Amino acid sequence: MNPVPRIGIITGVKSEEAALAPIMGSVEAPYVRLSGARPARARAGVEALIGLGVDALVSFGSVGAVSPDQKPGDLLVGTSVLDDDGGRYTPDEDWSARIADVSGARPATVIGIDYIAHARDKARFAAQDIAGIDMESHCVAKLAGEAGVPFAVLRAVVDPYDFEFPDYVLDAVRPDGSISLLPVIAGVATQPWTIGRLLDLNRFNKSAMESLGGAARVLGPGLGFFTL
């Protein structure tokens, strides 16, 4: 009998990690590293997971929508990962197909970038037939490819294609993926017109985390990965 494969997961913030709760009580639970929405930390996390000898890697968490037909909570499974330098990487095809079949996630091209995306960025990426944007998938894809480790991308839409993040939101993310309220309070105090967007973002994020939690539950500790 083959040993149970151990999965390594890179995600951004604590709420995304919490969406993995349905599988974290298992003896086969994955290893998880958080980037704190910082690509350099994502790269370090991937390197650490590879160093632990994981059998496969997953970029897991939220994604920004690029087209108007996507709504908060929609699941995407990456069939191709791009970076902003023109690199293209291919996730494990069989694994990605299983994730899509079991979770109902839509197969899609995603792009990983080192900065928070604005509506103008989304318009540029839409012309490239890209469905979603995040800040970790390119790190996972590049380093997994170099190490010869299979990888997959499972993401849920948070922000719609025309949504603009309040500029203080990223400042609120600590390196460990937790959220500091001080930048949010200061941001709302100086930009009270953004309160509506902040409330929308909270609602969008709730939908996305519910979708990710449901996907984790049905896919199990290996998130659909297995070895023959």
Q: In three state form, how does the secondary structure of 23-52 look?
A: HHCCCCCCEEEECCCCHHHHHHHHHHHHHC
Distance of CA 98 to the CA centre of its chain: 18
pLDDT at position 3 is: 66
Answer yes or no: is 200 within a domain. Answer: no
Residue 61 Cα distances to 22, 27, 178, 186, 191, angstroms: 15, 22, 14, 27, 28
Domain that holds residue 143: 7-164+206-219
pLDDT at position 2 is: 52
CA neighbor of 57 nearest in space, from 113, 123, 119, 141: 141
Answer yes or no: is 147 within a domain. Answer: yes
- Do residues 133 and 163 lie in contact, with contact meaning Cβ atoms separated by under 8 Å? no
User: Tell me, what CATH number does 71's domain have?
Assistant: 3.40.50.1580
- Compute how many other C-beta atoms are within 10 angstroms of the C-beta atom of residue 179: 13
From start to end of 14-150, where are the E strands?
31-34, 56-65, 75-83, 88-89, 106-112, 132-134
pLDDT at position 1 is: 43
How many domains is the chain partitioned into structurally? 1
Query: What angle in degrees, to the nearest 10, is found between the helix axes of 93-103 and 195-219?
Result: 110
Answer yes or no: is 18 within a domain. Answer: yes
Answer yes or no: is 226 within a domain. Answer: no
CA angle 105, 35, 16 (to 5 degrees): 40
Instruction: Report the helix count and the strand count for the chain, using DSSP H and E.
Output: 8, 8
Answer yes or no: is 39 within a domain. Answer: yes
HSE-up of 61 (CA within 13 Å, CB side)?
A: 27
pLDDT at position 227 is: 62
Answer yes or no: is 64 within a domain. Answer: yes
**Radius of gyration of the chain, Cα coordinates, nearest whole angstrom:** 17
Distance, CA of 29 to CA of 87 (rounded, Å): 31
CA neighbor of 210 nearest in space, from 157, 135, 150, 149: 157
Answer yes or no: is 173 within a domain. Answer: no
Pairing of strands 88-89, 31-34: unpaired
pLDDT at position 11 is: 96
Answer yes or no: is 127 within a domain. Answer: yes
Kindly give the parts of the chain with pLDDT less than 70. Answer: 1-3, 227-228
Question: pLDDT tens-digit profile of 32-44?
Answer: 999 998 989 999 9
For residue 155, what are its two tokens?
């993401």
